[in-house]
Structure 1
């Protein structure tokens, strides 16, 4: 891996591979050229037609060929070619694959945490607000609303109260004029089981 590092790092930050090989002068020149050219591309209006990634590609190729020459001089052409080939394999195939798997894993973890904890807390908080507004409605009219959708249409901001944080619709049941039940189906989306979240007056 130590022999591959100068090649691999040159793909991402041209010039640093030379630092690994102790050629600080050449590395400094390449890195400085990379930084300055990228800055100019991003900040000068007359260079707008040049893609921002263009300096990276050109200077990356320069850096990699320079690393190749140095490794060839040190270890021979066969070894230098092998190191370059393995580095290309890592950067082009293994690195994106690893990044994809890592991103997918993080996304799934975030989704799990959201479903298990965040959505439940948000739904409970929202149901508390709905209960408060239902109580205010009863205080004003003497009864709870018969139709839940008509109730939440009273204010545009209440439209989000149609469904819980899992995007399952709330179930509202008017027991009688002074009693109601508000139910969220919970994370499984199925009513009338143990993970339901229930609010009563």
Structure 2
């Protein structure tokens, strides 16, 4: 691993591989060249046509071959070639796969936490706001709205009130002119069971 690390780090931050191999002078030159060239391309207008990644590619190749030369001199050409090949495999194949799996795991974990713990609180909070607006409507018109879809369409900002945090449509029942029931199907998406969230006036 100690011989793979200089190659791998050179892909991402040229010059660090030389530092690992204790070639501080060359590592400093490569790293400084990388930082300065990137800074100039990002900040000077006449260099704006050059892609910001271009100096990275050039200096990365310089750094990798520098690492290769050091390891070749120390351990031989066969070992240096083998370490370079393994490093390419890790960076080009294994690293993206690992990153993809990690990212997927994070998103799935966030989705699980949201579904298990956050959606219920968000839905309850939203239903309280809807109940407040329904009461204001009733105070103004003397009755609750007959059609919930028409009610939430009165203001564009209420568009999200058509469905709960699980994306299930709210069910609105007008019992009589003075009473209503607003129902969220809850996490399971099935109405009229124990996990429903219900608001009445």
The TM-score normalised by the length of structure 2 is 0.96
Question: Which segments of structure 1 move beyond 6 Å, counting only runs of 4 or more?
Answer: none
Once residues 61 and 157 of structure 2 are traced to their aligned partners in structure 1, the CA distance between those partners, rounded to angstroms, is 55
> Does residue 1:195 correspond to 2:180, yes or no?
no
Partner of 2:76: 76
Once residues 14 and 56 of structure 1 are traced to their aligned partners in structure 2, the CA distance between those partners, rounded to angstroms, is 8
Please state whether the residue corresponding to 1:187 is helix, strand or coil: coil
> Does residue 1:85 correspond to 2:70, yes or no?
no
Partner of 1:115: 115
Q: Which moved more, 1:70-79 or 1:188-197?
A: 188-197
CA displacement at 1:156 relative to structure 2:
2.5
Once residues 89 and 22 of structure 2 are traced to their aligned partners in structure 1, the CA distance between those partners, rounded to angstroms, is 25
Partner of 2:56: 56
For each residue in 1:13-41, what CA deviation from the matched residue of structure 2 results, as whole angstroms up to 9, or x when unmatched? 00000000001000000000000001111
Aligned length: 201
CA displacement at 1:134 relative to structure 2:
1.2
Once residues 78 and 40 of structure 2 are traced to their aligned partners in structure 1, the CA distance between those partners, rounded to angstroms, is 38
Alignment of 1:51-200 (within 5 A): 51-200=51-200
Partner of 1:40: 40
Please state whether the residue corresponding to 1:78 is helix, strand or coil: helix
CA displacement at 1:106 relative to structure 2:
0.3
Q: Which moved more, 1:158-167 or 1:5-14?
A: 158-167
Once residues 63 and 157 of structure 2 are traced to their aligned partners in structure 1, the CA distance between those partners, rounded to angstroms, is 57
Once residues 49 and 141 of structure 1 are traced to their aligned partners in structure 2, the CA distance between those partners, rounded to angstroms, is 63
Q: Which moved more, 1:38-47 or 1:19-28?
A: 38-47
For each residue in 1:69-88, what CA deviation from the matched residue of structure 2 results, as whole angstroms up to 9, or x when unmatched? 00011111111111111111
Once residues 177 and 130 of structure 1 are traced to their aligned partners in structure 2, the CA distance between those partners, rounded to angstroms, is 17
- Aligned-residue CA RMSD (Å): 1.1
- Structure 2 gaps, min length 5: none
The TM-score normalised by the length of structure 1 is 0.96
CA displacement at 1:187 relative to structure 2:
2.1
Partner of 2:7: 7
Once residues 48 and 140 of structure 2 are traced to their aligned partners in structure 1, the CA distance between those partners, rounded to angstroms, is 63
CA displacement at 1:139 relative to structure 2:
2.2
CA displacement at 1:110 relative to structure 2:
0.7
Once residues 123 and 112 of structure 2 are traced to their aligned partners in structure 1, the CA distance between those partners, rounded to angstroms, is 16
Please state whether the residue corresponding to 1:136 is helix, strand or coil: helix
- Structure 1 gaps, min length 5: none
CA displacement at 1:159 relative to structure 2:
2.0
Once residues 6 and 147 of structure 1 are traced to their aligned partners in structure 2, the CA distance between those partners, rounded to angstroms, is 68
